[in-house]
Amino acid sequence: MDILITKAEATQQCAYGTTKAHRSALARRVQARELKRVFPNMYAASEYWDSLQPDERIRHIARTLHNRHPDWVFAGVTAAAIHDFEHQWHLHAGTITLATTSRGPNASSAKVKRIFTSSSTPEYANGLPVTSKARTVVDCGLSVDFRFALPIIDSALRNGVAITDILNVCSTMRRDCTPIFRLLHYANPASENGGESLGRGTIIAGGLLAPELQQNITDPQTGALYRVDFLWRLPENRLIVGEFDGYEKYVNPDMNDRKGVRGAVQAEKERETALYRAKVDTIVRFTYEEVMQQHPLLNKLRAAGIPHAGTVMGAG
């Protein structure tokens, strides 16, 4: 069992039992809390598994399934994780998504979901057979809510996926691709990460005016440039800035110029002062938790004066 676990970790997979004796031995180690059962007949050392990010856990499970079922092709949000597209990890919900060319009645199960595709030729990403990047974007856009699909398509565009490729996929499908056209209307590769994309998607889904992204504002006193996450230019020359507050920028030395938490907080205060000198009216800061809950973010923006989409000339 120790050799089995060590070999699995070395290949970034999960251990699994090939015999009844193996499966019983692995189950006993779960009872002893030495291992975790992470998928049916898949196990990993508890400390090792806990050290992995959720998207890497999905890739471990996918590699293990590929080892056991080399003909399987991964699709949907599973393919998004394998393609390294930014996305919210809860979308996996403990399941794996596969592409299938069969419309059989037993196509899906509690742990394995299947998406019908007419093409049986996969691409390979991170050594695994997956649907193409464009097809993955379309499948995700048709299966998850708009605000959660926007980070995936933003990330795909940043990774070189062409809009024409996405439209070509839609042209081969017998499904209504209106959700994809809406995503393409709002997609923007300038969004720097999945959290910002989710924030923008939540704003749009909530009916508020979509912001400009990654705009530079000049401090009139020092001439320094400050790039803001979101910017709204409203009537009467009002400027409202939205800032996505990720915890990492305070604790990651590569993001705070190795100033530490205190230095990062001080730099943020100086940044806000400079933005107000540049005639910014309001700065709205929000967290990932507020974005996920939706109403805290939308209420903050409404209070700051962000209008409903369509109430400002040229919005939308």
* Lowest-pLDDT range of 84-98, 240-254, 289-303: 240-254
Decide if 245 contacts 287 (C-beta within 8 A): yes
Distances (CA, A) of 243 to 3, 55, 204, 226: 49, 26, 16, 12
pLDDT at 212 exceeding the cut of 70: yes
Is 58 in the same domain as 179?
yes
Is 140 in the same domain as 238?
no
* Lowest-pLDDT range of 92-101, 209-218, 259-268: 259-268
Q: What is the pLDDT of residue 60?
A: 97
CA-based nearest residue to 206, from 294, 145, 296, 313: 294
Is 67 in the same domain as 167?
yes
Instruction: At 117, give phi and psi (nearest 5°).
Output: -145, 145
Q: What is the pLDDT of residue 265?
A: 76
Is 59 in the same domain as 185?
yes
* Lowest-pLDDT range of 94-103, 262-271, 306-315: 306-315
116 part of a folded domain: yes
Query: How many folded domains does the chain comprise?
Result: 3
Angle at 288 between CA 55 and CA 132, to 5 degrees: 35
Q: Which of 189, 222, 250 is the last residue of a domain?
A: 189
Is 23 in the same domain as 67?
no
Is 160 in the same domain as 130?
yes
Q: What is the pLDDT of residue 251?
A: 38
pLDDT in tens, 19-77: 899 899 999 999 999 999 999 999 999 999 999 999 999 999 999 999 999 999 999 99
Is 65 in the same domain as 150?
yes
198 part of a folded domain: no
Is 84 in the same domain as 212?
no
Q: Which domain holds residue 3?
A: 1-52
- Quote the longest CA-to-CA distance of the chain: 75
Is 46 in the same domain as 128?
no
- Model-wide pTM > 0.85: yes
Amino acid (one-letter) located at 153: I
218 part of a folded domain: yes
β partners of residue 43: 15, 37
Q: How confident is the model at residue 266 (pLDDT cuts 50, 70, 90)?
A: confident
Residue 150 exposure: Cα atoms within 13 Å on the Cβ side: 24
Is 180 in the same domain as 259?
no
CA dist., res. 298 & res. 203, Å (int): 7
pLDDT at 314 exceeding the cut of 50: no
pLDDT at 7 exceeding the cut of 50: yes
Q: Which of 1-10, 149-158, 240-249 has the highest mean pLDDT?
A: 149-158
pLDDT in tens, 80-133: 999 999 999 999 988 999 999 876 554 557 899 999 887 767 899 999 999 999
CA dist., res. 311 & res. 309, Å (int): 6
Q: What is the pLDDT of residue 302?
A: 97
Decide if 72 contacts 66 (C-beta within 8 A): yes
* Lowest-pLDDT range of 143-157, 162-176, 236-250, 295-309: 236-250
Is 271 in the same domain as 299?
yes
**269 CB-contact burial (10 Å; exposed 0-12 / middle 13-18 / buried 19+):** exposed
Q: What is the pLDDT of residue 119?
A: 72
Share of the chain above pLDDT 70, in %: 90
200 part of a folded domain: no
Q: Which of 34, 52, 70 is the last residue of a domain?
A: 52
Average pLDDT of the chain? 90
Is 99 in the same domain as 111?
yes
316 part of a folded domain: no
Q: What is the pLDDT of residue 135?
A: 96
84 part of a folded domain: yes
254 part of a folded domain: yes
Kindly provide the residue ranges of all beta strands, DSSP E only, lying in 46-86, ordered along the sequence.
73-74
Q: What is the pLDDT of residue 253?
A: 46
